[in-house]
Structure 1
């Protein structure tokens, strides 16, 4: 008789477990389906977004390349302007030296003429007075 009671108790426990496990298994199945649908939707939404991000990154890279080239052009221009400034400075110094030399020569000539005229004038005045 204990065997029958044990068998009946085991059968009842099995039925009770099955009754509790069936809804849990069904809920797990629904959850798995929901997760699968969510992942599918997420993937469908992410693929175009990833493509746009990739295109944006390529556009940014091209823009950066153009900016780098422009910076190189500005550096070359700045260097050329610096060289031109140095040449203008050299020409300016040359003109100053040459101009100073001409000024000194002109002043010397003027002083020489003035002195010569002064000597001639003194000589003429002496002759006239004599």
Structure 2
């Protein structure tokens, strides 16, 4: 009989713990999914940007070497202008978009912090 009572108490304890853990695990799963999405977005945006930057850098390097060897100056200047144009496009569009995403996340975190602080002050007043 005491073993059955102990087993019943253990089952009740396990049920209560599971009842509290389920919402925590669901929230944790949502948080992990959001972090995974953020990392995927950053990787998606960052890899092409780095590739373009490497290409532009290599292009400038080749152009500089060609200019140093005394090859046609106008051709080298044209390639340099193209590389600078590529880099400018990269800075204007891709970095701007990434900076906008980061600024959006920052604003969200600030708003969440202010909301939590206001809720805490509201609870303290009661």
TM-score by structure 2 length?
0.49
Q: Which has the higher contact order (CA 8 A, sep 6+)?
A: 2
Larger Cα-atom Rg: 1
